[in-house]
Structure 1
Amino acid sequence: MNAIVKPALPASLAGLSPAAAARVERVREIARQVAGPAAAAVDRDARFPHEAIDALKAERLLSAHVPERFGGLGANITELGQMCEALGQRCASAAMVFAMHQVQVACLVRHGSTPFFENYLQELVREQRLIASVTSEAGVGGSVRTSICPIETEADGSCRVRKEGTVVSYGDAADDFLITVRRNVESVAGDQAMVLARKPQCEMQLVGTWDAMGMRGTCSPGYTLTARFGPEQVVPAPFADINAHTMVPWAHILWSSAWLGIATDAVARARAFVRDTGRRMAATPPTATRLSDVSTQLQLMRVHVHEWTRRYDQMTAAADGGAQELSSVACAVQLNHLKLASSELVAEICTKALRIAGTTGYRNDSPYSITRHLRDAHSAALMIGNERIHAANGALHMVYRDDAL
């Protein structure tokens, strides 16, 4: 009797457990059936992608990274990157909201080792709470590693902070906020802490509107936020460690995964256009050569993103949670390379895909339209501005040694 041969997993799911692969497939269904059909309205109206986020909540995926001992799914960044990539192919705003939320969850999972934060993670699992970050700040020139606003201690022992956040993505839809601040009034600007504040603890004054070129569904205006909270809500780890070990790697990897999704769908639309043209011509169209070129760039982007995703999981499996390697100059430089390359490639790939599709890709009402992809792609270089990252990397290269040279 012949043995029953199970079908192989798609290459993108290789290495995932059966449960993890099933969860990624479920997100792909949500992307196709929920996020995609709503994406045009989300973009047109610059509104929050509530359909996609509600569907992810229903699958308990906002707590996917929470360890199983707290009721979560214990998903690693490889699994979450696949989810961001799937969402990015259908609705970049939904993908970016999901990615940014998971970055905040990872900061709490990896650095919130106190009873308060452990209880909060269990609450996150039960209620599928959405966490937004308040890291941008007026007056610091775009530096995430500098804070003007300090934690002020009141007479009763409670804490207060007032922060002018220049960009607070999905702040209106969020349930809770992770806020970067100066540790106290005596601290220097670089001595930072991270605070988890619940929305009822916050007074939020809207500053401006969000009528942006792309990523319109992230709903990212500025807010002046005043929060009152207990001292137990300060994440115990220094923000310098949170930033280097978790926030930067997770942001660069999951953002890049979402951008990879955008680029993948842009090339898919260009490919469909070329095939349709070829059928009508009964010959290989001239645009097939350019399709080969852009597909090569997409493959390079995919390999780079997937390689770093797997590498991060390998690093954090070490006894020290990857702390030593993640604190190294080499790791900082290479993670910055990932962000720089991905953010520049996504815009270049979408531009080339648009030129392949021509006027049909330029139209909003075409099945080959790449207009939203291109507008969303141009946000990538602005999220932690590439010029700032190049400047930081330039300084690091003074001491960095590439062993390959």
Structure 2
Amino acid sequence: MFDLYQPSEEHEEIRAAVRNVVEKKITPFAAEVDADSRYPQEAHDALVETDFFAAHIPEEHGGMGADALAVAIIIEEVARGCASSSLIPAVNKLGSMPVQLGGSEEIKAKYFPQVARGEAGFSYGLSEREAGSDTASMKTRAVADGDDWILNGVKTWITNAGVSEYYTVMAVTDPDGARGRNISAFVVEKSDEGFTFGEKERKLGIKGSPTRELLFDNVRLPGDRIIGDPGEGLKIALRTLDHTRVTIAAQAVGIAQGALDYAIGYVKERQQFGKNIAENQAIQFMLADMGMKLEAARQLTYTAAAKSQRMDEDLTYFGAAAKAFASDAAMEITTDAVQLLGGAGYVVDHPVERMMRDAKITQIYEGTNQIQRMVMGRKLIA
């Protein structure tokens, strides 16, 4: 079974290449990006230059065609240096995955080459303020008008909103239809008339990744912008999350690895009572627990990534498990990293307080960890 998810030599070459880019062109700007709450343009440019911007795009559309494990490794390594920057490849996969799973060849050919070249990003519009975990209760509507659709409503908590050129948006197209089977998916373009953005949310973490509302006021969408058939939108959206929860797990693993690395370096240098505090058994026990949780999270994430690549039937369970376990582990590990630094961990001079703030969102977005446990529980008793 081990060879089903063991990273290959090619995977490790990708890891080394991404780590080199991160250390030189992304990590040096991470603190500034957080402090100024600004989009990490340096990371964006570096990822485009090295083809890691949207590595999942298939080769036939000009992309790298990276498998799910390679994408997870890319996101993990970027998150190790800057969580905000890791949302660039993660959200490009999230936003375009519905097109990959349910879109026609024509719609793929229209949008994927631009994303592969780094000319456009892709965001994902599912959540609303009163339809977060309960996605089927969304209020956004798309009404047929000849061959076109007229879109009205609001989407909330949209990552990289305003930066991305394209948005996969879910909307109710049959208000009288069966709940969950009356929703369709569309591609909305940033330039569409009537499509605007709300103000940037002021957040605890991932401050370099803009989060805004999507506002639709009689936005006219050509008929060829629909993804799949009418009524398939929620099914496509949930299938998408099965795959992309793996990327959030990878992000959590990367954040946790960055915090552990920094904490180890600190305790090996910090002296109290005439010796490095790393020599204290209590410190070693904390590090051991952190390392153990991190490696367990990584292995579960890689297993889920392999299942994503193979489209295994049990991906729903493993995607939820990887996301919940890795994000819980990241929150614990980053909190312990702050503790290991003591007072120094609580100030912005050291990156672990940022990592702790960034880790929190991984327990919330793409389905709270309470929802992940519901998903797993239902699969176990099915």
Partner Cα separation in structure 1 for residue 87 and residue 187 of structure 2: 20
Q: 1:123 to 1:218 in 2, by over 3 A?
A: closer
Structure with more strand by fraction: 2
Structure 2 match to 1:160 = 150
Structure 2 match to 1:319 = none
Partner Cα separation in structure 1 for residue 346 and residue 16 of structure 2: 31
C-alpha deviation, 1:15, in angstroms = 3.9
C-alpha deviation, 1:308, in angstroms = 1.5
Structure 1 match to 2:89 = 98
Alignment of 1:180-199 (within 5 A): 180-190=170-180, 191-199=182-190
Q: 1:71 to 1:276 in 2, by over 3 A?
A: same
1:284 aligns with 2:275: no
Q: 1:125 to 1:336 in 2, by over 3 A?
A: closer
Partner Cα separation in structure 2 for residue 372 and residue 180 of structure 1: 33
1:362 aligns with 2:357: no
Q: Which amino acid aligns with 2:358?
A: D
The answer to whether the Cα contact below 8 Å between 1:209 and 1:221 also exists between their aligned partners in 2 is yes
C-alpha deviation, 1:170, in angstroms = 1.2
Q: 1:203 to 1:306 in 2, by over 3 A?
A: same
Structure 1 match to 2:17 = 26
Partner Cα separation in structure 1 for residue 118 and residue 336 of structure 2: 43
Structure 2 match to 1:243 = 237
TM-score, length of structure 1 as denominator length:
0.84
Alignment of 1:28-43 (within 5 A): 28-43=19-34
C-alpha deviation, 1:33, in angstroms = 1.3
Structure 2 match to 1:403 = none
Partner Cα separation in structure 2 for residue 151 and residue 302 of structure 1: 40
The answer to whether the Cα contact below 8 Å between 1:62 and 1:128 also exists between their aligned partners in 2 is no
1:377 to 351, 359, 365: 359
Structure 1 match to 2:317 = 333
Identity %: 19
Q: 1:345 to 1:23 in 2, by over 3 A?
A: closer
Structure 1 match to 2:301 = 305
1:265 aligns with 2:235: no
Paired residues in the alignment total 371
Q: 1:202 to 1:372 in 2, by over 3 A?
A: farther
1:110 to 95, 101, 105: 101
C-alpha deviation, 1:311, in angstroms = 2.7
Higher mean Cα deviation, 187-196 or 371-380?
187-196
Partner Cα separation in structure 1 for residue 85 and residue 117 of structure 2: 22
* Runs of 5+ unmatched residues, structure 2: none
Q: 1:36 to 1:241 in 2, by over 3 A?
A: same
C-alpha deviation, 1:127, in angstroms = 5.2
Runs of 4+ in structure 1 over 6 Å off: none
C-alpha deviation, 1:88, in angstroms = 0.5
C-alpha deviation, 1:240, in angstroms = 4.2
C-alpha deviation, 1:266, in angstroms = 0.6
TM-score, length of structure 2 as denominator length:
0.88
Q: 1:145 to 1:61 in 2, by over 3 A?
A: farther
The answer to whether the Cα contact below 8 Å between 1:167 and 1:222 also exists between their aligned partners in 2 is yes
Q: 1:159 to 1:59 in 2, by over 3 A?
A: same
